[in-house]
Structure 1
């Protein structure tokens, strides 16, 4: 179905917004902010075509597969989308990944005997690391604002949700809540802050706990800087990507 320019522009914005919430599993950064997504197109029958790239030819196949599958799932959830194609370019396993995603296969089905381990366990491991990084960022800001450890360890999710805590344009509360459910129930009266094991945090030693979490983020920050550097060396990052089309091609 052909749509007018304004409606098409709105649909493109909606797709880019969905992709913005897809993250590199290791870095916990948006695939769009990292510059991985190069092309998004919507054709005449509302099928979305996505192309993406990675910093090196040999980036881990399981991470690449997860990102491709997450992009497909995020965009497929949009009500008007009739189908999604996700294509990884210039990667040693691009053919297997692209074929597996297009056929709706799991990582194990796509790679057969080459697959090493269950992606669900890998995914959970990195979701927990992402949770820790987001928790550290939020707790650090709250402590800097003057909240006492005794207040924070008894704070409920309902009390946390009404707070506005920003840093460098990021909504720290919103980002944290996106990962909070991985460690425990998220009812309004549930504790806002838990450890990765699902335990309540003690007031005594909370600041030391936060310093410990900070070490988790150092490695991810280094890897993020490395990925950006490698991407800029491999690809032309100075020329802007093609502008999003304003009109749906007839």
Structure 2
């Protein structure tokens, strides 16, 4: 019984860690996107991961960033298991899997596959988009909650932490925006405004509407790409159900994607 309990706790920890890895372009967990096809614990406590992307030709840069995130997540598991990660049905799957079996790092494996791009710069671009998408959701939620633009742009971290939303996009993104803010500005004082631009500039109350319009453009682009990925994966593997409330490609084509504000209290 104790062994079964330990195994169950470890499996929960495994999926929790994997759920912390995001698709870098979409800022959505790879587990929710269906990219982790299988995550299995063997009888000796080791871990096997089967990873599958929406298309055969997905950018090796994106594959690298996600697989590197998976590796880091597995390295953080409390029982330090040996693990095997296998990429399926990708144009570089053979090279990736052969390299991993040989004990190479992802950096070594992808050194010649990364399309000569600066992966550090690419990672930073995705961090910026995630920052903006998360911020927009919380800003819209606070507006829907009845706060004035002046109250919102003047909000400091203590007030932000006690703000509450009903379940919805704002509630989901609230802790994620806080994490992104402190990752971007680790020395930020508690009495500084919570809502700033990616460059760290204050947002004047009169400019909040224009700022939100800029953030909306980022969100719509990310949601379109997310709908495209889900559609491609669903068509290719016939295994991914459409999540209730998630926009489809048809929604984008017909321009009927609403702003997903958090419900008011």
Q: 1:1-250, aligned counterparts within 5 Å?
A: 4-101=3-100, 103-107=103-107, 109-115=108-114, 116-165=116-165, 166-167=167-168, 170-185=171-186, 186-237=188-239
Q: Distance in 2 between matches of 1:79 and 1:7?
A: 12
Structure 1 stretches lacking a partner, 5+ long: 240-250
Is this contact kept in 2: 1:19–1:74, CA < 8 A? yes
Q: Distance in 2 between matches of 1:101 and 1:62?
A: 16
Give the match for residue 245 of structure 1.
none
Q: Distance in 1 between matches of 2:21 and 2:159?
A: 27
Q: CA deviation at 1:169?
A: 8.8
* 60 and 216 in structure 1: CA distance in 2 versus 1, 3 angstrom threshold: same
Is this contact kept in 1: 2:137–2:173, CA < 8 A? yes
SS of 2:184 mapped into structure 1:
coil
Is this contact kept in 2: 1:40–1:48, CA < 8 A? yes
Q: CA deviation at 1:41?
A: 1.3
Q: CA deviation at 1:43?
A: 2.1
Q: Distance in 2 between matches of 1:206 and 1:100?
A: 49
Q: Distance in 2 between matches of 1:38 and 1:78?
A: 19
Give the root-mean-square deviation of aligned CA atoms: 2.2
Q: Distance in 2 between matches of 1:111 and 1:32?
A: 23
Higher relative contact order (CA 8 A, sep 6+): 1
Normalising by structure 2, what TM-score?
A: 0.82
Structure 2 stretches lacking a partner, 5+ long: 242-265
Is this contact kept in 2: 1:52–1:87, CA < 8 A? yes
Q: CA deviation at 1:238?
A: 6.1
Which has the higher mean CA deviation after the structures are superposed, 67-76 or 40-49? 40-49
How many residues in Structure 1 have an aligned counterpart in Structure 2? 237
Is this contact kept in 2: 1:22–1:74, CA < 8 A? yes
Is this contact kept in 2: 1:31–1:37, CA < 8 A? yes
SS of 1:197 mapped into structure 2:
coil
Is this contact kept in 2: 1:24–1:31, CA < 8 A? yes
Is this contact kept in 2: 1:48–1:81, CA < 8 A? no
Normalising by structure 1, what TM-score?
A: 0.87
